[in-house]
Amino acid sequence: MHVGVVTNPHYQGMESLLERLVEVARPLGMEFHLEQDRADSLPGRGSLEESLDELDWILTLGGDGTFLRGARIAGPRNLRVLGCNLGRLGFLTVVARDELEEALRVIASGDCDEEQRLALQVTVRQKDDDGPPDPMRAFYSVNDAVVHKSGTARLITLRLWADDEPIGQYSADGIIVATATGSTAYSLSAGGPILVPTMDGLIATPISPHTLAVRPVVLPATTKVTVEILGGHDDLALTVDGQPGTELSARDRVEVVRSEHPVRLFRLPGYSFFSVLRRKLRWGDVRPSDV
């Protein structure tokens, strides 16, 4: 079983953790492949980049950012992902460091389930351009796509479409188009609703809109959401899963549709989404004794 390992390069003690995991994984028939810049930690094994066609699944060691990076590798290749939290929050990850060794044994035994989550295909086009998308302006997203001002703090004017129907025109700091998985990320901070992550739905959440009448909208996953940029504005950008995507300009359209490649997650026994909400986001304002 070939396992691609995506790590947080800033985590102290990663070398010793990897050495211990290799000891545990070897008798389970697992061989690890690290990213190129860490491949020297496991000499004699091909790097993750060299072994993409051989991989059976992806393990991420870090926080949510590391998980998202691993999921963007795994999703388009139809690979499952297991996230181990080595950071502070780790909302998207499934296991803590002290649970990881047992998780590897469970996966090797096959005594675990799979959970699939919707992902996004994000494409930037010029207005009236319906030709093949530019590969440099097409992105796979697990959490969200955000159109925003990257320079001075000024409002931008956008028009939002659901398929061929205009939803409305917004003056705001930007707009977030999120999956159910991403509903607990930037969209939540901007006032969006929480969706159970296995739901097939999209959320369009304005960022600081300049009117009380504008609220987040939940749409079916089959909807093509288009964000049309109106007027002449400078320093506009598209951010995908918190990472730089591309610069934008007036008349650009950002089209967001359901990707044909869902995110496939290992779901280990005892996992509960609402338990994670209570413990990590203090949802419901529960007391520590209640969680």
Q: What is the pLDDT of residues 136-156, one digit of tens each?
A: 789 999 999 999 987 777 788
More confident residue, 214 or 218: 218
Confidence at residue 98, expressed as pLDDT on a 0 to 100 scale: 87
The pLDDT score that the predictor gives to residue 289 is 55
- Residue 286's pLDDT is 56
Structure tokens at 191: 């006032």
Look at residue 290 and tell me whether its pLDDT is greater than 60: no
Please state which of the ranges 90-104, 106-120, 136-150, 164-178 shows the lowest mean pLDDT: 90-104
Rounded Cα distance, 59 and 55, in Å: 11
Tokens at residue 265, please? Answer: 């997650």
Q: Return the minimum-mean-pLDDT range out of 80-84, 156-160, 211-215, 282-286.
A: 282-286
Q: Which range, of 25-29, 47-51, 184-188, 238-242, averages the lowest pLDDT?
A: 47-51
Give me the percent of the chain exceeding a pLDDT of 70: 91
Q: With CA atoms as reference, report the closest residue to 143 among 78, 90, 72, 206.
A: 72
Q: What is the pLDDT of residues 153-195, one digit of tens each?
A: 778 899 999 999 999 998 999 999 999 999 999 999 999 999 9
pLDDT given at position 287: 58
**Over the stretch 232-284, which tens digit does the pLDDT of each residue have?**
567 899 999 999 889 998 889 999 999 999 999 998 877 778 777 787 777 77
pLDDT of residue 19: 86
More confident residue, 278 or 40: 278
Confidence (pLDDT) at 73: 93
In residues, how long is the chain? 291
What pLDDT score was predicted for residue 272? Answer: 76
Euclidean distance between CA atoms 14 and 22, whole angstroms: 12
Report the Cα 16 to chain-centroid distance in Å. 28
Q: Which residues of 120-156 are buried (b: 16+ CB within 10 A; e: fewer)?
A: bbbbbbeeeeeeeeeeebbbbbbbbbbbbbeeeeeeb
Candidate list 37, 40, 56, 64, residue with the active-site label = 64
What's the pLDDT at 231? 66
Q: What is the mean pLDDT of the chain?
A: 87
Question: How far lies 52's CA from each of 68, 76, 114, in Å?
Answer: 17, 11, 21
Mean per-residue pLDDT for 109-132?
86
Is the per-residue pLDDT at 220 higher than 80? yes
Residue 71: its pLDDT value, please? Answer: 95
Cα 19 to the chain's mean position, in Å? 28
Q: What is the pLDDT of residue 110?
A: 85
β-pairing, 80-85 vs 225-229, is unpaired
Note the pLDDT of residue 108. Answer: 93
Looking at residue 229, its pLDDT comes to 92
Catalytic (active site) residue 64:
yes
pLDDT-derived band of residue 41, with 50, 70 and 90 as boundaries? low
Reported as a pLDDT band with limits 50, 70 and 90, residue 59 is: very high
